[in-house]
Amino acid sequence: MPPKKKPSSPAVKAKPAPAESGELSLIRKLAEILNETGLTEIELDHKGAKVRVSKTVHATAMVAAPQSHAPAAPVAQAAPVAAVAVVAEVSGTPLKSPMVGTAYLSPTPGSAPFAALGSMVKEGQTLLIIEAMKTMNQIGAPKSGKLVKVLIDNGVPVEYGETLMVIE
C-alpha cells in the first residue's frame, strides 16, 4: 500500500514587519551603540526630544588573594580572658583609651617611658600617646596616684574603651 499523502496546507505567507517608527528606530540604534562601546547609559537630546537608553550591569567584585613567598606560619591567638582577669585582680582607677589608634608609652622611640610602673603620677600627667589619623594625642592620668599596672606594650593598636593602665 502506497503511503498516504498529507494534504498540502496552503502556503503560509510571512507577514511583513511593520515599519518601525522613527523613535523606535532611534532607540534601537542607541542600544546598538551601548553594546558596541560597552557603555551602560546613553542620552540624546535633539530638538527638544530626550531619549535615554540604559542597561543594567551586574558587576562582580574580584579580589585577588595576597601572595606570599613563604608559607604562612600559624598565628597563636592570645586569650582575651587573661587581660580581663588581670584587670579584675588589680584594684584602682582604670585609664581607658578614648579613641582607636596606636599607643606609644614614650615620646620618641628608644627614650624613657612617660611613667614607669610603680611610679607616682599626678592627675593630667601624660602617661602615653595614641596616634590616630597621623595625629599624636597625649593621654593624661585620670587621677593622682601610683601606676600599678600597664596592660599594653609600646606601639600596639588599641580600641576605644580598652583599659590601658591602672592607677591606685
> Is 142 within a domain?
yes
pTM for this structure? 0.47
**Cα gap 25→31, rounded to integer Å:** 10
> Is 84 within a domain?
no
46 & 105 share domain: no
131: enclosing H helix or E strand? strand 126-132
Q: What Å distances lie between residue 9 and 12, 16, 40, CA to CA?
A: 8, 20, 48
Spatial neighbors of 123 by CB under 8 A, at least 6 apart, are 140, 141, 142, 143, 144
42 & 108 share domain: no
33 & 99 share domain: no
Using one digit for the tens of pLDDT, what is the confidence trace for 84-110? 444 445 578 999 999 999 999 999 988
42 & 102 share domain: no
Q: Give the residue numbers spanning the domain of 103.
A: 91-167
Q: What Å distances lie between residue 56 and 31, 32, 68, CA to CA?
A: 12, 15, 37
**DSSP secondary structure string for all residues of 63-124:** -PPPP-SSPPPPPPPPPHHHHHHHHHHS-SEEEE-SSSEEEESSSSTTSPPSS-TT-EE-TT
99 & 163 share domain: yes
> Is 78 within a domain?
no
> Is 85 within a domain?
no
> Is 71 within a domain?
no
Report the number of distinct structural domains present in the chain. 2
Using one digit for the tens of pLDDT, what is the confidence trace for 42-81? 777 777 777 777 776 555 445 555 554 444 445 444 444 4
